[in-house]
Amino acid sequence: MSEFEPKVVAFFCNWCTYGAADLAGVSRLDYPPNFRVVRLPCTGRLNPKFIMEAFKRGADGVWVSGCHPGDCHYIAGNYYARRKFILLHTLLESIGVDPNRLRFSWISSAEANKFQAMARDVIEHVKACGPNLTFRKAELQLDLPEVA
Amino acid sequence: MPEYLVKENALADFFRELTQDRRLLTPQGQGENCRLEETDPSKVSLEYTNTHKSPKECFFPQTEKLLAFSKEADKPHPNEYRDLGDKAVATVIFGLRPCDARGLCVADKVFQNDRFTDPYWKGKYEKTLKIGLACLNPSPQCFCAAMGGSPFGEAGLDVLAYPRDKGLGLKTLTEAGEALIKTTKAEPGDLKSEIADLEKKAIEAQGPIDHFVAINERKIMELYKAPHWPTTAEPCLGCGVCTFFCPTCHCFDIQDEANERGGIRMRNWDTCMSALFTQHGSGHNPRPSKTERIRQRFMHKLKYIPIKQDGVRGCTGCGRCVVMCPANIDIRSVAALMAQTQAS
Amino acid sequence: MSNLDTLTQKIREKAKSLLEGGQADVVIGYRTGTVPLMAAPFFARTPQDCDQLVWSSFARLNLANYLPGRTEKVALVAKGCDARNAVGQVAENQYPKDKLFILGVPCSGQVDAAKVAAKEPRPIQTSEETDDSIKLTGPGYSTDLKKEDVLRRNCLTCAHRTPTLANELVGPEVPSLPTDDFSDLTALLAKSSEERLTYFKDLIKDCLRCYACRNACPLCYCPVCFVDETRPQWLGKSTDPMDTMTFHLLRGLHCAGRCTACGACETACPVNIKVREFNRVLDKTVKENWSYEPGLAWDQKPPLTVYQPNDPADFIK
């Protein structure tokens, strides 16, 4: 049996983590290919419904990453985002979503090495959780008649 | 059509005989938990007020898949919506209250009439025999008689049953119902006068009855332009509780859901209490506020449906919306206001 | 005269004088409902209307819900929670403070109809209340219930039973109760994640998505709710359990830190879902992190609209 390869939806701030991913790429730092990146102008733009939509559609994990506190391109977007994360993180964990499926991090655009390490760590944790079978929308049952 | 008796010690056998070649649905549980469920013939209960939700969901579930398509090229008809076939199974429902049976009749005329036939409703409706259980002691929030029904109402039923000496009295109402009872060992008996007496008592138990006849006499526009609508609507929260629990409400919304493998088309209950119900693609909404929406609901129940269905009202007096409306908008009070409307 | 009658009397007198004096165009309060255990929201616009206003233990909705978007001057008959929500709406610019008159009613708790039904399953014809009991009658019976046995669970942990920022109180202050210590949640959160997920999935399995909880909530005043958005459509319209779960989670998040635990959502739910369970998880977090309680000051900022440079976030790596 081949090893489980998770799908992780990653929401990266344009001004930092997205750049870190870029820098990691040009620096030839290899990291797992299991995540699909959605670029945000700021983590302040992250609406909790984006995360729910990712899980609903079957993502095995979600990773949100933005600028370090104090570094926001828009002065305070990540400070507001942080409060949202605190609630979202607690809510999802409380209702029984494995906290290893949801990761928040601060990575500046210069931190290619941190990005590489974090990417590996995220995927490793999600792998340990196994496929997301319980916190997603059920597969569509087409129930088409066998003979048409 | 004749009457029959089932004695207490023959009840379990009676229900077993009913279900020889069909499943049996009866109300199970009490209060908020009372619902129609597939029932073992030995576990039928006669002790319940009514199901929490109306029985329309047996024929018109909240979510119903209509069509599906597959994108897989090696399957027949890829990328084409296909009918899913009629999966209705032969059923007998025992224990429908007459108000709800009458509600099904109203909805049936919407789903099956000389202009349209809804195959999804029809398949289930035609394969179901309906045995009602008359109400000897109507609940305090019941008002079927005011809406033209009766605790012993027969509309929409194949057989009307009522509790009798811990057994049952039965009156068959259709040929299918008669044929069904003939397959059991129910004994023939003459119950006509007993039923008439019990019905009279049950109606009297609903207290003095206002039939709101003036609503029938007023013209549509007189009722429509009546000044009370804004105040009637003011407490409304705009939730869909009244419509979701109503035995005659039948509006639905068609939705598609698809992914990379294929897709389905389904219909879901919708509610005229929601602004989205009439929202046009252009952004225009012909019922922009809750005043218009509330007016629509009550006009539909008490005026439009009677016009289309030979005087039969779209409210059967089951009392669910009265009890469940969080803001206590009581259709009896609204009907009274409509009945007081002045002729122009 | 019972305390309830006195309150009713005071509400009527004050409502009349506010309308007559032009301080209010409408008094939003309650009148006797048409079914037992029910007080119906009522909008009194003339002094004669005011004679229909009543106070009871069946005033379960939150009348602050009727404020947003209104242009008239409103006098709001408000329990502790309603008053806090009205203050919250002023803070969130949903209603102007200078048009609002809070007619505060010290509240001894509201009756939970489901708890009554559990104690008295027979059909109920009438309900009459005294200060501490409810007399129920039905076909062939009459019974008395102690009010304290059938209060809503949010009323049992109400720390602000007397409205905190009312323009006027119609009765003497009621001693407040020890606030919600979330002890039941602590026990729940100690369980395994599988057990918790099962618990929360079971909690909402009967949800019809009628949105009565949302519509009864004074915090839910968005012109278009995310569940009704169509471009894109965030939520499927079927009764899919994950769509339903998404609704409840996001509804909870939107109310986080703003919820006064008024219980209107649970009152409105036709299938008795404990919808506030989601809010409580969040309230607990808000309280622990920012010791914030909504509706206690006119200029209070909801916790998600402000930040501290040192907000606790050890989980962010």
Q: Following DSSP, what letter does each residue of B9-73 receive, concatenated?
A: GGHHHHHHHHTTTSEEEEEESSGGG-EEEE--GGG-----S--SS-GGGGTS-SEEEEEEEE--T
Structure tokens at A37: 């990146």
Element (H, E) at A129: helix A112-129
Whether B328 and C38 have beta carbons less than 8 Å apart is answered as yes
pLDDT over threshold 70, residue A148: no
ipTM value of the model?
Answer: 0.93
Residue from B320, B306, B270 nearest B109 by CA: B306
CB contact under 8 A, A86 and C313: yes
**pLDDT number for residue C180:** 86
Place of tokens 């009864």: C216
**pLDDT number for residue B207:** 82
Residue from B117, B337, B132 nearest B227 by CA: B337
Q: How far apart are CA C76 and CA C72, in angstroms?
A: 12
Q: How far apart are CA C167 and CA B143, in angstroms?
A: 43
Please give, rounded to a whole number of angstroms, the shortest distance from the CA of C244 to a CA of chain A.
10
**Looking at domain A8-129, which CATH architecture does it have?**
3-Layer(aba) Sandwich (3.40)
User: Omega before B55 cis (within 30°)?
Assistant: no
- Among A140, A143, A145, select the one facing B259 at the smallest CB separation: A140
Residue from C100, C32, C23, C39 nearest C66 by CA: C100
| Domain residue spans of chain C | 1-111+152-179, 180-311
Whether B215 and B339 have beta carbons less than 8 Å apart is answered as yes
Chain C residues with a Cβ under 8 Å from any Cβ in chain B: 33-36, 38-43, 61, 65-66, 114, 117, 121, 123-125, 138-139, 208, 210-212, 214-216, 228, 236-240, 264, 267-268, 270-272
What predicted TM-score, i.e. pTM, was given to this entire model? 0.94
SS3 category, B314? coil
Question: Over its length of 344 residues, how does chain B's per-residue pLDDT go in tens digits?
Answer: 799 999 999 999 999 999 888 999 999 998 888 999 999 999 999 989 999 999 999 999 999 999 999 998 888 888 999 998 888 999 999 999 999 999 999 999 999 999 999 999 999 999 999 999 999 988 888 999 999 999 999 999 999 999 999 999 999 999 999 999 999 999 999 999 999 999 999 999 888 888 899 999 999 999 999 999 999 999 999 999 999 999 999 999 999 999 888 999 999 999 999 999 999 989 899 999 999 999 999 999 999 999 999 999 999 999 999 999 999 999 999 999 999 998 87
Which of the four pLDDT bands, split at 50, 70 and 90, describes residue A24?
very high
CB contact under 8 A, B84 and A145: yes
Whether B134 and B145 have beta carbons less than 8 Å apart is answered as no
A144-148, B102-106, B166-170, C118-122: the lowest-pLDDT one: A144-148
Q: What does the pLDDT look like over C255-302, one tens digit per residue?
A: 999 999 999 999 999 999 999 999 999 999 999 999 999 999 999 899
pLDDT over threshold 70, residue C238: yes
Sort B190 into a burial class: Cβ within 10 Å, 0-12 / 13-18 / 19+: exposed
Q: How far apart are CA C117 and CA B84, in angstroms?
A: 42
**pLDDT number for residue A147:** 58
**pLDDT number for residue C94:** 96
Q: How far apart are CA C191 and CA C198, in angstroms?
A: 11
Whether C134 and C144 have beta carbons less than 8 Å apart is answered as yes
pLDDT over threshold 90, residue C190: yes
CB contact under 8 A, B235 and C208: no
High-pLDDT (> 90) share of chain A, %: 91
Which of the four pLDDT bands, split at 50, 70 and 90, describes residue A140?
confident
CB contact under 8 A, C121 and B327: no
CB contact under 8 A, C270 and B49: no
What is the dihedral angle through the alpha carbons of A85, A90, A93, A94, rounded to the nearest 10 degrees?
A: -150
pLDDT over threshold 90, residue C108: yes
The residue-averaged pLDDT of C54-73 equals 96
pLDDT over threshold 80, residue A1: no
CB contact under 8 A, B82 and A144: yes
Q: How far apart are CA B271 and CA C109, in angstroms?
A: 33
**pLDDT number for residue B99:** 96
Residue from B64, B30, B96 nearest B316 by CA: B96
Q: How are strands ordered across the β-sheet holding A35-40? A: A35-40, A8-13, A61-66, A102-106
C186 → chain A, closest CA residue: A94
